[in-house]
Structure 1
């Protein structure tokens, strides 16, 4: 398991050295000399970086201090501890730092502003000269907070630590200079240097010192234990409850407490190697930039503490984090993804929601990708490859009938059928099912369309995705990100499995594609995956003009000569006649159609849009049968094709060839309405003469259609315990019914 934190900067060797380190006043002197030379000022070393910042605010004598709203609560805590009022500035989406516009707006709203904290969030080197010039003109003191990156250059050339009156460093956990805790204050302004109080060594905070000593060793051991996740999670919770693994930004401020001399050697050696670390981080950031181009902002060529990735929404971010966890990347400490970070300090903070809208829009969508010392090129490439499908991905779930039809037209019509229509979803809603319409976009290009319904069956709840998803491309990594969203929906509603049946050709490549998404063949289909479609986009005489269809033409003529009448009757009475006929057909032929309630709801939904037609074949006038229906068909229109969803006939209707005339009249009417295809909706798989649809297939093959053989249903199992009995029972029923 790779973590974003949990002592990932430490090796076992470092942990042992840290545990046994002894105080060295020589290292302390050398560190102070190095920092004085690097930043040009007087140096004090503190036990915590936030204590150094609090002393900087106190020495500045500020009444109110401006800070970035995109920061940690400890900055606000330090400002208050230094005797000032925090003022929050909004940020630029590009640099994650306040721009000159934001500084001016905050200053105008807070004329008593005395000082400005300049941060370089994630180590991003933004342009600083306009901010410095403004501060100098308005006599605002500058405190440079270099907690995220102590050595770099701003975008306009100035070195970090060269523009502030006071410079603050942090040596805390997960920072570039990591000595578990620690900080430094460098006073570059001689007047302020006289006002600053030096920290003093103290014997207080003994438990804090002990936990800091143990932290590298405990975190290294715990990371090793995550090979056995359940045991490691139990240990992790125990150590946190004992406060041996401190929470992010936890612990006391420890104002005025000096950095233990034993830590100075570790800080010193990391400072001496910082150029190598900057080069390493710049290289790894470049890999992220190359593999996540849509996620990059001002990161190009930067040496970063963490790589910021902005996604389209908070929901996609949460889905990505879960996906990465399954890929053994645990990003538990996602910096600044709440209005106050960490969120447990929300009640203590004076930040007012709504005061920094740009920061608040960014907050739920940001992910920090690690660049600590435990990351190498291979891990960065693996992490970036896992995250890439989610970059630029967004979901749209709110549609009108018109907008839904418009988005369907952006996909290849050969890849879907009427089961993804607006009206089909309305049918499920009318029956009390929960329905989701969802379209995934990748950089504004629709890549997947999904209509899913929640089926609360007696055997198990499952998510039904029938006749879809409609895939804009067959990139398994990309579509895997969409499937994560479906899994999230299914888990939230306690589904045992997801069952989908897309309109994809039944080929080896497509079967591999579905397997790569985590699905396995289902024991039962959601509908017949094999059908025949008749091309109506040609003259009527050509449809059945071939010599192969001579018997079909003869049967149609026979039905006409006998006086069979074809009528449309969508009235309630007509529906009752059809359902009665369908019931008789089911009994005679031993098959099960959808329930009468479902058929009525479906007919009503499509009729409202003028897309449903109910045909009846009636006995000849004056015949003994009178107005008896010999055959019937329910037909649905969908943009460019008509679909023969349900059919029924009596023995007399078959003998009189009424079914042939009925089908031919349906095709002629569909052609007159301008439709291009007629879907005969359900035939036997090729070469399976024992299938229940074998006789029906012979009948449907008499109308000039071409076969379409799609993949059968596939299941993604979410609960094996609940799924197993469903699988066994459906396997038995499928064999019994010869499906």
Structure 2
């Protein structure tokens, strides 16, 4: 298989949408948000598509390639062999330190196990740096609403109906500033790092304007107290960002918000709801355990992908970058005056 860059960007869009499960992180719109730090190539092959991001490593004469949630191909080992050979050739020709792929292929499926073995045989290594969540939860959106509700835990159904009875309202919105305020409040409360305000506003404005995303806000007595931002592409919607205030939590706005998010996704023709993130290990001590239980309550099923894999044309240089350099930098930081 050979990849090529189509002259008409619409050709790439069509090839992407022709894939069984196109991923929103492989779209041209998402890649544009990564500029100027990353440059993008949108490549097409036989029943295949991949957006390949490239960046230089500071002032070093080195570059890395990354196919976020790609490449996209049918579950056929011969096709994957051909695609991997083309990507390996591209990495060698460009002088890249390594190329990283991160496809949504089920780890415990026969094909996922075979592909992992094939990657290893070809010299790819399971990456120590998993950029995206390797684990997630998935909810099917096929069927009547009552069927979906019946698949949820009883407490989840009760809470979302309680929110509706107590007057929680959920509406599509373009108030990205208010969402960021809620997101910053959530980050401070739950102690996780977030990017600057401008990054999230750029993502939400661009993806919503291109009909690939939607902000929903939940209000109580006219005050926005929770929000989520969904991305969509092909048959899948992703719960990408979520935020909530400490105010009015007794009215359970987050539960009705998620249900309305699922209903919105169904209205767009989506048949799958990706909850975008789950713990590495299903243990109560894990920091994401509470979030996992919340998502599971909506009928989400735990799913593990094969994860990110790296191919390095010069393995010794790759080992220097991934193993020795971090240790050296840590030593320098520890011993500096």
Report the equivalent of 1:498: 99
Whether the 8 Å CA contact 1:544–1:553 is kept in 2: the answer is: yes
State the TM-score, normalized to the length of structure 2.
Answer: 0.84
Report the equivalent of 1:390.
none
Alpha-carbon distance in 2 for matches of 1:690, 1:715 = 30
Structure having the higher Rg: 1
1:454-469, aligned counterparts within 5 Å? 454-456=54-56, 461-469=63-71
- Residue 411 of structure 1 aligns to a residue whose secondary structure is coil
- Counterpart of 1:198 in structure 2 is none
Residues 724 and 478 of structure 1: CA distance in aligned 2, closer, same or farther (over 3 Å) = same
Aligned to 1:609: 210
Distance verdict in 2 for CA 1:477–1:555, change over 3 Å: closer
Q: Structure 2: which 5+ residue stretches go unaligned?
A: 331-337
Among candidates 373, 396, 399, match of residue 4 of structure 2:
396
Q: CA deviation at 1:480?
A: 3.5
Deviation at residue 645 of structure 1 after TM alignment? 0.7
- For 1:684 and 1:730, the matched residues in 2 are separated by 29
Match of 1:558 in 2: 162
Q: Assess, with a 3 A threshold, how the Cα gap between structure 1 residues 729 and 587 changes in structure 2: closer, same or farther.
A: farther
Alpha-carbon RMSD: 2.7
1:691–1:400 Cα change, 3 Å: farther
User: Paired residue for 1:723?
Assistant: 322
Tell whether 2:21 aligns with 1:426: no
Deviation (angstroms), 1:725: 4.7
Map 1:220-619 to 2 at 5 A. 393-398=1-6, 400-413=8-21, 416-429=22-35, 431-440=36-45, 445-446=46-47, 448-456=48-56, 461-472=63-74, 473-475=76-78, 477-488=81-92, 490-491=94-95, 495-507=96-108, 508-546=113-151, 549-570=153-174, 574-619=175-220
Q: Which string of whole-angstrom CA distances, capped at 9 and with x for unpartnered residues, describes residues 571-623 of structure 1?
A: xxx111111211221222122345433323322332232222111112224xx
Deviation (angstroms), 1:405: 2.9
Contact 2:33 2:202 survives alignment (8 Å): yes
Q: Does 1:708 align with 2:281?
A: no
Give the number of the structure whose residues are more often strand, by fraction: 2
Asked if the contact 2:41/2:51 (under 8 Å) is kept, the reply is yes
Change in CA separation of 1:597 and 1:522 when aligned onto 2, cut-off 3 Å: farther
**RCO greater where, 1 or 2, for CA within 8 Å and sep 6 or more?**
2
TM-superposition CA deviations, 1:639-682 (whole Å, max 9, x none): 22221111111233544311101001111122122221221111
**What is the TM-score of this pair, normalised by structure 1?**
0.40
Distance 1:474 1:598, change over 3 A: farther
Of 669, 682, 692, the match for 2:287: 692
Of 663, 667, 680 in structure 1, the residue corresponding to residue 262 of structure 2 is 667
SS of corresponding position for 2:150: coil
Partner of 1:438, secondary structure, is strand
Instruction: Provide closer, same or farther for how the CA distance between residues 423 and 554 of structure 1 changes in structure 2, counting only shifts above 3 A.
Output: same
Alpha-carbon shift at residue 726 of structure 1 (Å): 5.9
- After superposition, give the CA deviation of every residue in 1:658-711 in whole Å (9 maximum; x if it has no partner): 110100111112212222122111112353444332211100011122332101
* Aligned-partner Cα distance in 1 for 2:283–2:291: 12
1:533 Cα deviation after fit: 1.9
Unaligned runs of 5+ in 1: 1-392, 622-626, 732-739
In the alignment, what sits opposite 1:647?
242
C-alpha spacing 1:497/1:723, structure 2 compared with 1 (3 Å): farther
